[in-house]
Amino acid sequence: MGFVTPYLILWSQDNGLDTFERNKYDVLGFRHRVRGLLSNRFKNKGGNMRNLGIFSVLLLIVTIGCAVTYNQPITSAPIIVEALHFSKDEIFKVARQILVAEGYQISSADELSGTISTAPRNLRVTPEQADCGKTMGLDYLKDNRTSTRVAIGVIVDKGSITVKANIEGEYKPGDVIQNITLTCVSTGVLEKDILRKIKDVVGGS
């Protein structure tokens, strides 16, 4: 949103807004507050066509400006694999049980190949569990308008198990035009938690 700021500051000065106080604005909610400032200003001026045109152009600039500041994650998700000295059938069975107990719906399970896949479920992940990118240094996962869904994939082989989390993210500030589909990368925390629970059950059986 860096290229937008000078235009907004100049506009605010020209229209009698002596202090823009940018530091008081939450960057992710910046567009809504600017909309309010512009809307109120135009109402005071009578809401003529000239003001309406300026209002539309400024909103478009703000929307485009904020969108281009989305910094996607540059890291790759870790591969979470661990050796388990139990039978493949036993690990496979326990893995399915744990996933269901965690609220996941099994979409496919093939005992021959040892693969299990779940459907995505609504799960609010934290910055410790995933990286969904930032805007101007602010983490999207710290904003309540960001929603995430998680699907889990498991591969059970002879003597080992691999767990993979696929995370989908969306940022919805209120207007459809401002919605952003986020690219999310797991940090491995979710996978390790699932793996730990599988190990606890297999080891205790």
CATH number of the domain that 124 lies in? Answer: 3.30.530
Q: Give the DSSP per-residue string, the chain.
A: -TTTHHHHHHHHHHTT-----GGGS-GGGHHHHHHHHHHHHHHHTT--HHHHHHHHHHHHHHHHHHHTTEE---S----EEEE--S-HHHHHHHHHHHHHHTTPPEEEEETTTTEEEE--EE----TTTEE--EETTEEGGGSTTEEEEEEEEEEEETTEEEEEEEEEEEE--SSGGG-EEEE-EE-SHHHHHHHHHHHHHHHH-
Query: Which of 39, 68, 97 is the last residue before a domain boundary?
Result: 68
pLDDT per residue rounded down to tens, the chain (205 residues): 444 443 443 444 444 433 333 333 444 455 555 555 555 555 555 555 555 555 555 555 555 555 558 999 988 999 999 999 899 999 999 999 999 999 999 999 999 999 999 999 999 999 999 999 999 889 999 999 999 999 999 999 988 999 999 999 999 998 888 899 999 999 999 999 999 999 999 976 5
The per-residue pLDDT for 17 is 39
The per-residue pLDDT for 8 is 43
73 in any annotated domain: no
Q: Give the DSSP per-residue string, 123-180.
A: ----TTTEE--EETTEEGGGSTTEEEEEEEEEEEETTEEEEEEEEEEEE--SSGGG-E
135 in any annotated domain: yes
The per-residue pLDDT for 5 is 41
Query: Which of 68, 92, 109 is the last residue before a domain boundary?
Result: 68
Are 12 and 64 in the same domain? yes
Are 19 and 54 in the same domain? yes
Question: How many structural domains comprise the chain?
Answer: 2
Are 104 and 191 in the same domain? yes
The per-residue pLDDT for 6 is 39
Are 189 and 89 in the same domain? yes
Are 117 and 164 in the same domain? yes
The per-residue pLDDT for 119 is 98
pTM above 0.85, yes or no: no
Residue 115, domain extent? 80-204
Are 112 and 177 in the same domain? yes
Are 107 and 155 in the same domain? yes
Are 161 and 88 in the same domain? yes
